[in-house]
């Protein structure tokens, strides 16, 4: 039988769950409640898998509307996400979008029909900046970080000194397509985030890449890269990503690390530069 997810405890409260496609979601457990952060791409019954990890009442928060985060929401009766990403999430939750994502990321695997929840959607409740949930002995706080998408939310776990960035800030930050902000807007949001929240965490969780956690310095690095992009001092390397023309702020080696040895890259659309560039 196909195994769709693997789990890895990160500490007594936090478990990373990785899908077959390699995208991660995270389960946080307090003494009273559990909180699932993101839902992966939808292949495999995530609700059943999570039920095997906790018997506490479960709330689900989705960081943003992309299919690899919201696609699995259909397995749950209700998920919370920011209103600005609700339309995007509704698109991502359709069976066609989930199946297309699975074909793209798992081309060699013929998944059976029962790998996908037949429901086309689920109830979407709001998730606003500052929303907090008490899980019993620990809390989770949603903090808006628009950029990667306009409705992107991060999650602070203050008692664990941890932040979940989702895709809002990571080592291969996507700022392209209609849902992303400009580089200038992203820089402003990232500066605001650093000023107000960076003293609250020493561990940063990300949804993609080889490791569950990254050095929180990634936020500083993304801000520095924004400065370089806006000054026209980045490599500005034309590439294709997800079938779209993009610019890599920094050249990468064939293994996907920065050729200059730096940590963190921004992959952006030419339309995200200030007008006239
Ligand atoms: Zn995303």
pLDDT tier for residue 277 given thresholds of 50, 70 and 90: low
Kindly calculate the radius of gyration of the chain based on its CA atoms and give it in whole angstroms: 18
Closest listed residue to residue 224, CA positions, set 258, 200, 199, 255: 258
Determine the distance separating the centroid of ligand 1 and the alpha carbon of 63, expressed in angstroms. Answer: 9
In Å, how far from its chain's centre is CA 134? 22
Determine the distance separating the centroid of ligand 1 and the alpha carbon of 152, expressed in angstroms. Answer: 8
pLDDT tier for residue 255 given thresholds of 50, 70 and 90: confident
Do 57 and 26 fall into the same domain? yes
- Whether 205 is covered by a domain: the verdict is no
pLDDT digits (tens, 9 = 90+) for 173-183: 999 999 999 99
Query: Which residues make up the environment of ion ligand 1, defined by Cβ < 5 Å?
Result: 66, 167
In Å, how far from its chain's centre is CA 13? 20
Q: Residue 256: phi, psi to the nearest 5?
A: 85, 15
- Whether 115 is covered by a domain: the verdict is yes
Determine the distance separating the centroid of ligand 1 and the alpha carbon of 148, expressed in angstroms. Answer: 7
Instruction: Give the CB-side neighbour count of residue 7, counting CA atoms within 13 A.
Output: 17
What is the pTM assigned to this prediction?
0.96
Do 136 and 176 fall into the same domain? no
Q: Give residue 38's domain range.
A: 1-146+153-166
Helix/strand/coil percent split, the chain, to 5 = 25, 30, 45
- Whether 207 is covered by a domain: the verdict is no
Compute the mean pLDDT over every residue in the chain, rounded to the nearest whole number: 96
pLDDT digits (tens, 9 = 90+) for 61-111: 999 999 999 999 999 999 999 999 999 999 999 999 999 999 999 999 889
Determine the distance separating the centroid of ligand 1 and the alpha carbon of 137, expressed in angstroms. Answer: 30
Q: Residue 9: phi, psi to the nearest 5?
A: -70, 130
Determine the distance separating the centroid of ligand 1 and the alpha carbon of 56, expressed in angstroms. Answer: 28
């Amino acid at each position: 039988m196909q195994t769709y997810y693997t789990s890895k405890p990160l500490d007594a409260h936090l478990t990373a769950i990785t899908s077959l496609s390699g995208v991660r979601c995270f389960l946080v457990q307090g003494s009273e409640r559990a909180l699932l952060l993101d839902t992966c791409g939808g292949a495999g019954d995530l609700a059943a898998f999570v039920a095997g990890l906790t018997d506490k009442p479960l709330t689900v928060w989705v960081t943003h509307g992309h299919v690899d985060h919201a696609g699995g929401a259909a397995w749950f009766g209700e998920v919370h996400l920011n209103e600005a990403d609700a339309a995007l999430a509704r698109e991502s939750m359709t069976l066609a979008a989930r199946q297309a994502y699975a074909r793209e990321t798992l081309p060699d695997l013929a998944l059976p029909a029962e790998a996908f929840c037949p429901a086309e959607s689920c109830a979407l409740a709001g998730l606003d900046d500052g929303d907090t949930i008490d899980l019993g002995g620990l809390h989770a706080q949603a903090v808006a970080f628009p950029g990667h998408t306009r409705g992107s939310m991060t999650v602070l776990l203050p008692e664990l000194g941890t932040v979940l960035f989702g895709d809002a800030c990571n080592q291969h930050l996507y700022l392209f397509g209609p849902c992303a902000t400009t580089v200038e807007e992203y820089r402003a949001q990232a500066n605001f985030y650093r000023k107000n929240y960076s003293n609250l965490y020493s561990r940063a969780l990300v949804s993609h890449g080889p490791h569950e956690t990254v050095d929180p310095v990634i936020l500083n690095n993304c801000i520095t890269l924004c400065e370089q992009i806006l000054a026209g001092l980045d490599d500005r390397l034309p590439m294709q990503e997800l079938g779209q023309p993009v610019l890599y702020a920094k050249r990468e080696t064939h293994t996907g690390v920065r050729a200059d040895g730096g940590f963190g890259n921004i992959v952006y659309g030419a339309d995200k530069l200030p007008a006239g560039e």
